[in-house]
Structures are given as C-alpha cells and as structure tokens.
Amino acid sequence: MIPGARLVILGRQGAGKGTQCVRLSRHFVVPHISTGDMLRAAVREGSPLGKMAKEVMDAGGLVGDEIMVGLVEQRLQRDDARTRGYILDGFPRTVPQAQELERITDDKPIDVVLDLEVPRELVLERITSRRVCRDCGTNYVATGSERGPSICDVCGGDVMQRDDDTPEAINHRLDLYEEQTSPLIEYYEKIGKLMVIDGVGTPDAVFAQLVAAVDGARRT
C-alpha cells in the first residue's frame, strides 16, 4: 500500500508549485489542495466569497487570514484529506495562517514543509509565459506561436492567461511573498519541518528531489 502524506509546499509565484503538486498528488495519492484554485472556483461560481476574492486577486493582494483559515479548515475535514493526507499549495501564506494550521492539524501534524527555491528574476520570466487551464488548473508554457485559445490536454477545458498574471500584479505578489510568506521559511526551519529544494532544473529532476525529501522526512 502507498502511504499517504501531509505536505505543505512553499515557493514564489512561478516556482513550479502547481506543476509539481499535480505530480506529488498522483505519487502519494493525496488531494492537491490549492487555495488559489479554490478561490478561482469561487470566482467562477460568482459566490459572495468569489466576488470579494476577485477584486483582491486581480490587484495581486491577499485575501484575509480569517476567511482563508475557514476555507482550509473545512477542506481538511473532508474524508480524502483525513484518510490519505494532502498537499497544501498556497496556504499558509502568512505567519498567523501557519499558527492556525498548527491548531487545525493538532491531532495529525504536517510531515514536512517543502520550500521550492527559484530566484525572483527567473520566476518573472516564467509567469509571463504561464498559461493555466481554467477548469483543472494544469499549467502550460506559451511559446508565442499559438493562434487563439488552446484546449487542455488533461480535461479539455480552456487554457488561458490568468487575470492576475499582469506585470503589475505579479510584481505586487512577489513583494508580498518576500514580506509575508518568506518569514514562514524561518518559522518552519525553527520547528525542524523545513526542506529546501532547488527548483531550478527539469521538472523530472525537481520532482525526484521532492519525493526524496518527503521519503527522508517520513523515515526520521
């Protein structure tokens, strides 16, 4: 039997979290819980949460901690997460969110926090050419030769540029990452949960390092 895992992945926008999470989710047979995808789904549904989140997201800001904690707490209570575990992508993003996550996972703590390190200059290039399936969240790289919108290989949905992948919003998100999210690296290092992974390399090479880090952390 494949053992499950309870994982958090940190890393700048464009570090490759989305791509690697899809693979990790298949490998460990755990749900990929992306708070960005959850918020984008709420935006498409036009729910009150979605209406509020759209404004914040398009400006590159952060949705309030209380709302995010509520969303994640509910999601982690579902059967798949309770039995197999999960990979959390996009949460926590602030120290208060990390503290709340410790409370929520009190009975079954996180195994390891993976920090996917890619320098800022490189992620800026990557995000500019990023395209995302609006239905299943699969990431693609635009080559510049596409004529019109493309169709997702995985689910057949529309592959588009995200509304918040404009240069202004990207720069703002990267600034917020340095200010609010990078303190989490120290936070998890102090409690002995952090594994830093070099995110510059082929997707296969990065994936192999991630799996080795999770397996190593679970053996200790």
Residue from 93, 195, 209, 217 in contact with ligand ADP (CB under 6 A): 93
Report the C-alpha gap between 163 and 107 in whole angstroms: 38
Q: Give me the residues paired with residue 115 across strands.
A: 10, 196
Smallest separation (angstroms) from ligand ADP to the CB of 57 = 4
Smallest separation (angstroms) from ligand ADP to the CB of 211 = 22
Considering 17, 40, 54, 131, which one is annotated as catalytic? 17
What is the footprint of ligand ADP within residues 17-56 (CB under 6 A)? 35-36, 39, 56
Residue from 41, 62, 122, 196 in contact with ligand ADP (CB under 6 A): 62
Does residue 124 belong to the site contacting ligand ADP (CB under 6 A)?
A: no
17 is catalytic: yes
Which string of DSSP letters, residue by residue, matches 87-144?
EEES---SHHHHHHHHHHTSSS--SEEEEEE--HHHHHHHHHTEEEETTT--EEE--S
Report the C-alpha gap between 147 and 138 in whole angstroms: 19
Query: Hey, what are 114's tokens?
Result: 């993976």
Site string for ligand ADP, 145-164 (x = CB under 6 A): -------------------x
Does residue 16 belong to the site contacting ligand ADP (CB under 6 A)?
A: no
Residue from 23, 29, 61, 182 in contact with ligand ADP (CB under 6 A): 61
Question: In terms of Cα–Cα distance, which of 71, 79, 28 is closest to 47?
Answer: 71
Q: What are the Cα distances from residue 64, in Å, to 37, 55, 97?
A: 16, 12, 10
Looking at the Cβ atoms of 25 and 97, the one nearer to ligand ADP is 97
26 is catalytic: no
Considering 6, 12, 54, 130, which one is annotated as catalytic? 130
Looking at the Cβ atoms of 6 and 93, the one nearer to ligand ADP is 93
- Residues whose CB is less than 8 angstroms from the CB of residue 134 and which lie 6 or more positions away in sequence, other chains included: 40, 44, 157, 158, 159, 160
Question: In terms of Cα–Cα distance, which of 133, 164, 135 is closest to 45?
Answer: 135
93 is catalytic: yes
Residue from 5, 21, 24, 57 in contact with ligand ADP (CB under 6 A): 57
Smallest separation (angstroms) from ligand ADP to the CB of 122 = 14
Smallest separation (angstroms) from ligand ADP to the CB of 138 = 13
What is the footprint of ligand ADP within residues 172-211 (CB under 6 A)? 173
Q: What's the burial of 17, exposed, middle or buried (CB within 10 Å: 0-12/13-18/19+)?
A: buried
Active site (catalytic) residues: 17, 93, 130, 162, 173
